Amino acid sequence: MSKELIVVLLVAPLVGFLINGLFGKWLKGSEKLSGWIGTLVVLVSLVCSIIVFASLHGGAAPFDETLYEWITGEGFAFNIGFHVDALTAVMLLVITGVGFLIHVYSIGYMHGDEGYTRYFAYLNLFVFAMLILVLGNNYLMMFVGWEGVGLCSYLLIGFWYDKQSATDAGKKAFIVNRIGDFGFLLGMFTLFAAFGTLDFGTMFDAAEADNFQKVFGASTLVIATLLLFVGAIGKSAQIPLYVWLPDAMEGPTPVSALIHAATMVTAGVYMIARSAVLYEIAHTGQVVAWIGVLTAFFAATIALTQNDIKRILAYSTVSQLGYMFVGVGVGAYASGVFHLVTHAFFKGLMFLTAGSVMHAMANELDMRKMGGLKSKMPITHLTFLVGALAIAGFPFLSGFWSKDEILHSAWGSNPLIYGIGLVTAFLTAFYMFRLIFVTFYGESRVEPEVASHLHESPPVMWVPLAILAIPSALIGLLLGWGGHESWFHEFTKNVFPEAHHDASGNVLVFMAISSVVGLAGIAFAWRRYSKRAPSDEPTGTFHGLLANKYYVDEVYNALIVQPVKNGSHFLLWKLVDNGVIDGIVNGVAALIRFIGGLLRRLQTGLVQAYIISMVLGIVLFLAYYLFFT
Amino acid sequence: MNPEQILFILFGAVALIGAIAVISFRHPIYSALSLIVTFFAQAGLFVLLGAHFVAAAQVIVYAGAIMVLFLFVIMLLNLGTLSVKGMMSGKLKGLAIILGILFAAEGIYIAVNALNDTAVASAEPTTAAVTTTTYDIGELLFSKYLLPFEVTSLILLAALIGVIVLVKREGQEEN
Amino acid sequence: MENMPLLVLILSSVVKILIIVHMLIIGVMVMIWAERRVSGWMQDRLGPNRVGPQGLLQPIADGLKFMFKEDLIPNHVDKPLYVLAPAMLLVPALVTVAVVPFGSSITLFGYEIPLHIADINIGILYILAITSLGVYGVVLGAWASNNKYSLLGGLRSSAQMISYELTLGLGIIGILMLTGNTLSLRTIAIEQGAYPWQWNFLIHFPAFLAFTTAMYAETNRLPFDLAEAEQELVAGYHTEYSSMKFAMFFMAEYMNMIVGSAVTVTLFLGGWHFFGLENVGGPVWSGLISFGIFFVKTAIFLFVFIWVRWTLPRFRYDQLMNFGWKFLLPVALTSIVVTGTLWIMTGSRLIVGIGNVVAAFIVVSIVAGLLVMNKAPEPAIQDDDSRFAPTALDAIE
Amino acid sequence: MALEYYLVLSALLFTTGVIGVLIRRNAIIIFMCIELMLNAANLAFVAISRSLGEATGQVFVFFVMTVAAAEVAIGLAIIVSVFKHQQTINVDEVNSLKG
């Protein structure tokens, strides 16, 4: 594993971005070329990632090197440096692997779009930023990537900028993320104040050293980790900042798959996993876990009543991210990251499948207008089924392994968390299969006009689906067989601090319970929805509450947005800006105008008048010089 | 009175009268001619001072070029409706003349007294008419004052470009 | 000169001045006659041949006529300047000749008298200074006449004279570089040597051509007589003049020609030297012979003046300015650079001479090439004749 | 001739120029008066040069002349432009900058 390899891995998407971004105008004539350039550069990164992974798996030492000094100053230095260990390698594979397939898929999906080259430029830039995020060997690098992916997310959500809802959603995502990023920044400052560096290696070593506790006390780390977690809440859409993610579905579907399911939103999980040492010392994992499990449950309940395919998937993503936080929160870092990996595959798969459905249905998203698509789109149906089974925890599919590990670890930490998680698992299976049954089975409710050209997607779209379906189904089995002694745990065991609690109870019992719960959810959904569509109107108060997403957006609007708006309007604009600042500005101007009015009389416009004063000055000066010195 | 004194008085008087005429004549063209007379008288004074090169340069540059330019512009503008106005109005004029007299008095005071303790006064007074040749000036120009000399060429270039920019008519094509 | 008593100095100077001034005036008369006869001869006609033998007395008759004509001063003119202008043109032409050496020296009554009026060490600067004053006569005469055509003629003339003065001055620099550390015309004449191949016009051939051309322009003669182009401006700046005042303008022109020729002969054509002939005979005769040689050279040059006048057509105004600024000036400048460089490098007059010609050729080719490449399309001829209506700005452009 | 006489003459010429600048309205004449002042300075330069017996003062005159030439060219061009725009060159009428 050489420096050059890492650089190529990192820079390849940047090159793609530059080509598509700067020369897009010339590429526009042949959009295929633009798409393939964007895809190829990610393929280069994928190949590099595989090499990195292979060498790490082959026993190579983690790579940690500084390329050059970025900012230096009195007593501090920030470097551009890379840290590559097992965790990074896993993330690299997810990013470039899923990223590559989504690029391929996009070539077909975005076909004929006005902003084709722009789309690929953004997508490449996103991959680049995400790679920086996971490759950096300090928090500042991570923050650069963190902001970079945020930017790309904003750009891609609002990709169809002529659509009001899209730009609104983009702004919402950006602003909500800003709150989280603010927390992240503060956390970074706190860490820098405490350690004088932001390098992972140095910082973690110092944190583990005994005297750190004596010097700074644990409270510093508690504050720092919680602030960092605020960042993660924003980026990974947890309570209370999850509101942007469902709206983010306004972006192109592959973007939802890549950014808002597989990679970017998991950045928070990655960050906590990376900072595991700090969280272990600060004992703040419980907060993370509770936020996670509540989010998981909360989002799952909302998903129950939604009718928009992508929104269901979005809430599902929020819910699954909650699981991951439970994992990393209870100290089962490897399990959390493992769920991240499996989720990336099956959720990416499901989003792409949803995209495929949309593609066929002329961008229809409401599943009440679907039904019986199974016969028309067999491949899409099959792949979606794989994904849904995986997420529902169907035995031996990937979700089964990763979710089970998290629940198992949660039991060891706090049975209550386990309980809520289990209920959520049931809900997950239910709403996923509600989606499947309503969409693919039963009577066709497709409008005739749309039905006439209902078709299976082109190969460039379904081939990635098929390819993604395989790991979605099997990756859990391959990597997760054997619970805490599985391959994945072996591979990443050097990265994370050892779990300090023993997983109690028999693994097989937990597996059995999970399986039963998952199957029960599926069965319940089958009973309820296999034959009939969901009713248009919400039935009952609770249903209405769920359908309106607990009125969270409305509450936020009333509690935060409006006060801020009013405050800005009346206090800042009317009072501070118009009154104080403009008052000062106008006052200064008026004063100067007054003085100028006095001085104006000297300005006669007659050159001689000026010269006379000059001559007078000379005469006086000479007189002084000659007679008084 | 030796010839030099006679000539000094002659040239000096002509120069002074010419100068006063410059500011007295109503029409600029007479002012310009008076100024030429002054310049000639000054050239004569330069010759008296043994500065032959400066005298010739005075005539070539001032009389031969600068004043022709003045005449040129006067005539050019005269073609239009140029209202010839004389002096400034009373108060300003009176103030100007008072200031001028004070200024002259100070200048004369300096000329007579203030130079006594400077290097100029202590220098060996040269009685014989020392003639500065062109060669002497050239030697100084191209050795000690080479840089200023080169800089003057830049000044001239800048003036050249400036004038071209100033007088070029709007949208005029180069031909 | 120092060993001469003051009385002798003054006396000899007065005599020399009288001789030279009278020779100039007579020369003018002869030139007027010669010009008319020569032009007659060139155009295959007779010219004036009635007054005196071969019409030789014609100029005297003309002069008498001028004198007895009414000295008319039009009402609308600016009187003082109107009167002053002819004198201001004539005087510079007369005083220029003061520094021109018209012979080696002559020994009379035991005193060696150099054959010039004043040998000052800034002789060339003096000539340039005085020549540059000639323009005032033209400009003031034109302005004082209060006549549109006069004014336009005057403006044209002054612009032309200022432009060509540059070439006049720069053309001499090359000579100065190769001639000791003085600007004295006598020294320049002496240092050229006795034989034609040593004279400056071979060493500085392009400068010689440029200088001569510029001098033609300075005298406002064809092909450079734009200031008095009859078809356009009646008689130019002296339209309003008559009688003796007009005669003074007339005389000044011819005097300028004679003085110009004399200066050219001194600077470029070896002055009074001719194959050592000037040294033949005793101290008296050699002086006279050298004077004669100088006289003949000047006369030949004057003939060329007339010859050119009746050979070349008049320039158009823009052609005139283009020619002066784009050909003569570059050639004169190049001559300075090349002369200086080659003289420092080789010290050989032969190489300097060859280099000058080659460089001038190159420069002219480059300029001509540039002009051809950038040639603006000929303006379409407009129906109304506004294009030809004279305006002040046209005159100076 | 003593140096003082030349310097006094120079001072008088200079003052004449100053007064001319102050009392005339015609921009061209004002310009001429500036030339007059420059020339007065030149006279002082040459006189002192002679008094010191060296040519430096005359070299400075040379520089002054160069500057004067450049200044006149620019100044007259400005006057012509002003005349084109305002149809006058009387400085008391060119007062767009009057406060």
What is the structure's pLDDT at C396? 47
What the block records as the tokens of A145 is 């990537």
What is the structure's pLDDT at A43? 92
Contact D91 A606 (CB under 8 A): yes
What is the structure's pLDDT at D37? 92
Q: Please give the C-alpha separations between residue A191 and each of A199, A216, A225, in angstroms, as whole numbers.
A: 10, 11, 9
Confidence of residue C3 (pLDDT cuts 50, 70, 90): low
D97 within a domain of the structure (yes/no): no
Average pLDDT for B83-98: 71
Average pLDDT for A90-96: 90
Q: Does B167 touch chain D (CB under 8 A)?
A: yes
Confidence of residue A555 (pLDDT cuts 50, 70, 90): confident
The DSSP secondary structure of A76-125, one letter per residue, reads EEEEEEEEE-HHHHHHHHHHHHHHHHHHHHHHHHTTT-TTHHHHHHHHHH
What is the structure's pLDDT at B175? 42
Q: At what angle do helices A507-529 and A398-413 cross, to 10 degrees?
A: 120
φ, ψ dihedrals at B85, nearest 5°: -115, 145
Average pLDDT for A513-517: 86
Closest-CA distance of chain A to residue D81, Å:
18
The chains in contact with chain B, meaning 3 or more Cβ pairs closer than 8 Å, are A, C, D
Alpha carbons A311 and A315: distance in angstroms, whole number: 6
3-state secondary structure of C353: helix
Confidence of residue A149 (pLDDT cuts 50, 70, 90): very high
Nearest to D95 among A599, A606, A611 (CB): A606
Maximum average pLDDT range among A279-283, A415-419, A508-512, A575-579: A415-419
**Greater pLDDT, A493 or A9:** A9
D11 within a domain of the structure (yes/no): no
What does the buried/exposed string (b/e) look like for A252-270 if buried means 16 or more CB atoms within 10 Å of the residue's CB? bbbbbbbbbbbbbbbbbbb
Weakest-pLDDT range from A33-42, A209-218, A308-317: A209-218
Percentage with pLDDT > 70 across chain A = 94
Closest-CA distance of chain A to residue B20, Å:
18
User: Sign of dihedral through CA atoms B115, B117, B118, B119?
Assistant: positive
Confidence of residue A628 (pLDDT cuts 50, 70, 90): confident
**pLDDT over 70 (residue B124):** no
Contact assessment for residue C253 and residue C219, using Cβ atoms and an 8 Å cutoff? yes
**Greater pLDDT, A59 or A52:** A52
Q: Which residues of A touch D97 (CB under 8 A)?
A: 603, 605
The string of pLDDT tens digits covering residues B32-45 is 889 999 998 999 99
Contact assessment for residue B166 and residue D78, using Cβ atoms and an 8 Å cutoff? yes
What is the structure's pLDDT at B41? 92
What is the structure's pLDDT at D40? 92
CATH class of B1-84: mainly alpha
What mean pLDDT, rounded, does chain C reach?
A: 79
Nearest to B23 among D3, D24, D67 (CB): D24
Alpha carbons C208 and C269: distance in angstroms, whole number: 10
Q: At what angle do helices B146-167 and B134-142 cross, to 10 degrees?
A: 90
- List, as ranges, residues 39-68 from B with C-beta within 8 Å of A: none
Q: Which residues of D touch B54 (CB under 8 A)?
A: 42, 46, 58, 61-62
Confidence of residue C395 (pLDDT cuts 50, 70, 90): very low
What is the structure's pLDDT at C84? 85
The string of pLDDT tens digits covering residues D33-84 is 999 999 999 998 888 888 887 788 888 898 999 888 898 889 888 888 888 8
**Greater pLDDT, B53 or C222:** B53
Tokens 């400036």 correspond to B162
What is the structure's pLDDT at B80? 44
**pLDDT over 80 (residue A164):** yes
D51 within a domain of the structure (yes/no): yes
Q: Please give the C-alpha separations between residue A93 and each of A45, A421, C56, in angstroms, as whole numbers.
A: 9, 28, 117
What the block records as the tokens of A608 is 């001689």
**pLDDT over 70 (residue B116):** no
Closest-CA distance of chain B to residue A623, Å:
7
**Greater pLDDT, C299 or C224:** C299
Full residue range of the structural domain in which residue D73 is found? 26-86
What is the structure's pLDDT at C339? 87
Contact B71 C140 (CB under 8 A): yes
Closest-CA distance of chain B to residue C38, Å:
34
Contact D67 B155 (CB under 8 A): yes
Weakest-pLDDT range from A230-239, A263-272, B107-116, C139-148: B107-116
The string of pLDDT tens digits covering residues A13-23 is 999 899 888 88
Contact D3 B120 (CB under 8 A): yes
What does the buried/exposed string (b/e) look like for B55-85 if buried means 16 or more CB atoms within 10 Å of the residue's CB? bbbbbbbbbbbbbbbbbbbbbbbbeeebeeb
D53 within a domain of the structure (yes/no): yes
Contact B88 D51 (CB under 8 A): no
Contact assessment for residue C241 and residue C11, using Cβ atoms and an 8 Å cutoff? no
Burial of residue C2 (CB within 10 Å: 0-12, 13-18, 19+) is exposed
Average pLDDT for A36-57: 89
The string of pLDDT tens digits covering residues D3-33 is 788 888 998 999 999 888 888 878 888 888 9
Contact assessment for residue C341 and residue C348, using Cβ atoms and an 8 Å cutoff? no
Q: At what angle do helices A333-360 and A459-480 cross, to 10 degrees?
A: 160
Average pLDDT for C46-74: 80
Q: Which residues of A touch D99 (CB under 8 A)?
A: 596, 599-605
Q: Please give the C-alpha separations between residue C177 and each of B97, C124, C202, C308, in angstroms, as whole numbers.
A: 50, 13, 15, 30
Confidence of residue B121 (pLDDT cuts 50, 70, 90): low
Nearest to C121 among B36, B52, B59 (CB): B52
What is the structure's pLDDT at A126? 93
Q: Which residues of B touch C81 (CB under 8 A)?
A: 29, 33
What is the structure's pLDDT at A211? 66
Number of domains into which chain D is organized: 1
Alpha carbons B7 and B4: distance in angstroms, whole number: 5
Nearest to B110 among A606, A608, A626 (CB): A626
Nearest residue on chain B to C120, alpha-carbon basis: B52
Instruction: List all residues 6 or more positions away from A479 whose beta carbon is below 8 Å from its beta carbon.
Output: A338, A341, A401, A486, A487, A488
Q: Which residues of C touch B21 (CB under 8 A)?
A: none
Contact assessment for residue C8 and residue C111, using Cβ atoms and an 8 Å cutoff? yes
Average pLDDT for A271-295: 88
D72 within a domain of the structure (yes/no): yes
What is the structure's pLDDT at A534? 65
The DSSP secondary structure of C168-226, one letter per residue, reads HHHHHHHHHHHSTT---HHHHHHHT-SSGGGSHHHHTHHHHHHHHHHHHHHTT-TTS-G
Q: pTM for this one?
A: 0.56
Candidates B134, B135, B172, partner chain C, best to mutate (most C CBs within 10 A): B134
Average pLDDT for A300-329: 88
Contact assessment for residue A417 and residue A408, using Cβ atoms and an 8 Å cutoff? no
Nearest to B114 among A615, A623, A626 (CB): A626
What the block records as the tokens of C185 is 């015309």
Strand-pair category, A63-73 with C111-114: unpaired
**Greater pLDDT, A520 or B130:** A520
Average pLDDT for A132-138: 90
**pLDDT over 50 (residue B75):** yes
- Measuring CA to CA, which residue among A395, A419, A369 is closest to residue A427? A419
What mean pLDDT, rounded, does chain A reach?
A: 84
Percentage with pLDDT > 90 across chain C = 0
What the block records as the tokens of C391 is 């305006």
**Greater pLDDT, A369 or C226:** A369
**pLDDT over 70 (residue A380):** yes
Closest-CA distance of chain D to residue A602, Å:
8
Q: What are the domain boundaries of chain B?
A: 1-84, 87-129
Confidence of residue C388 (pLDDT cuts 50, 70, 90): very low
- List, as ranges, residues 113-142 from B with C-beta within 8 Å of A: 114
The string of pLDDT tens digits covering residues C245-286 is 888 888 888 888 888 888 888 888 887 877 777 777 777 777
Contact assessment for residue C293 and residue C273, using Cβ atoms and an 8 Å cutoff? yes
Candidates B1, B5, B23, B151, partner chain D, best to mutate (most D CBs within 10 A): B23
**pLDDT over 70 (residue B171):** no
Length of chain D: 99
Q: Give the HSE-up count for residue A42: Cα atoms under 13 Å, Cβ half-sphere.
A: 34
